[in-house]
Amino acid sequence: MTNSSSTPLIKIRNVHFSRGSKLIFDGVDMDIQRGKVTAIMGPSGTGKTTLLKLIGGQLRPSTGSIEVDGQAIHKLKHKELYQLRKKMGMLFQSGALLTDISVFENVAFPLREHTQLSESMIRHLVLMKLHAVGLRGARDLMPAELSGGMARRVALARAIALDPMMIMYDEPFTGQDPISMGVLVRLIRMLNDALGLSSIVVSHDVQEACAIADYVYLVSGGKVIEHGTPAELAASDSQWSQQFMQGLADGPVPFHYAAAKEYAEDLMGVDI
């Protein structure tokens, strides 16, 4: 196994992917370093979640390669893929908690499925993971009784239950109030450093993602537009980066969706 700290944990090379006739990725290259928090940012609809699914092996690229911990994930057999996934955690935007079992049972779920641990050991581990996200007291609640932020924290406790080598976060800050947002930002950084994880955060919340990321990739139009540390991107003179990082309404990404006719012509003419 290529486990040395100098080699990237994930190597993405020249990945193309399309859904139907729509091209989502048109030659993407990325390196995700071990032990770091890497943010992948870009406007909505640029396929950031699709990229996480490609890394997790839920989708396969049309061409190109994706190596996770030295293994080409798109070439793995079903059994090998599932073995590798035990070392990967993923936090879905919705939390994806199982709605028919309690918070405790949700966190215990991967432990019960993949280990033969005794009930008392499972209890200890679950309480430790829930304590780490500040929700030990919510263990008996059902997922429907949790707020959005709490559900994501429970999902995070579940994602770290098997002590994975990496966690992928899909839009962790979307729809959160400022307090939950602050809690999540702190948790992602803290868990990454305390547990020696590698984290990938897919987000379009520039400030929050930049606050915790060691390295940032900006993705748009199926390509990596720019990459670097948050400071490097903030100082970048690329118009596109400036528009995205500063949230400008108009720029290389136009305010107006492309229309077939000029404005005046459209107003004067009869639409057929």
Partner 1 sequence: MMDFLQRLGVKSLGVLERLGRGTVFFFNILVSVPSVLVRPRLLFAQMYSVGVLSFSLIVISGLFVGMVLALQGFYTLSDFGAEGMLGVMVAASLVRELGPVVAALLFAGRAGSALTAEIGLMKATEQLSGMEMMAVDPVARIITPRFLAGLLSMPLLASLFSAIGVLGGYFIGVGLLGIDEGGYWSQMQAKIDFSEDILNGLIKSVVFGLVVTWIAVFEGYDAVPTSEGVSRATTQTVVHSAFAVLLLDFILTALMFGDN
Residues that bind partner 1 (CB under 8 A): 56, 58, 82-83, 85-86, 88-90, 92-94, 96-99, 109-110, 113-114, 155, 158, 162
CB 56 to partner 1: min, Å: 6
Residue from 153, 145, 143 nearest 99 by CA: 143
Q: Would you say 76 or 234 has its CB closer to partner 1?
A: 76
Q: Name the DSSP class of 143.
A: G
In our burial notation (b when 16+ CB lie closer than 10 A, e otherwise), range 239-257 reads ebbebbbeeeeeeeeeeee
CB 265 to partner 1: min, Å: 32
Contacts of 137 (CB under 8 A, 6+ apart): none
CB 216 to partner 1: min, Å: 24
CB 152 to partner 1: min, Å: 12
Q: 37 - beta bridge partners?
A: 199
On the 0-12 / 13-18 / 19+ scale of CB atoms within 10 A, 223 is middle
DSSP 48-62: HHHHHHHHTTSS--S
Q: Would you say 57 or 230 has its CB closer to partner 1?
A: 57
Q: Would you say 74 or 85 has its CB closer to partner 1?
A: 85
Q: Would you say 47 or 56 has its CB closer to partner 1?
A: 56
Q: Would you say 106 or 180 has its CB closer to partner 1?
A: 106
CB 179 to partner 1: min, Å: 25
CA neighbours within 13 Å on the CB side: how many for 248? Answer: 13
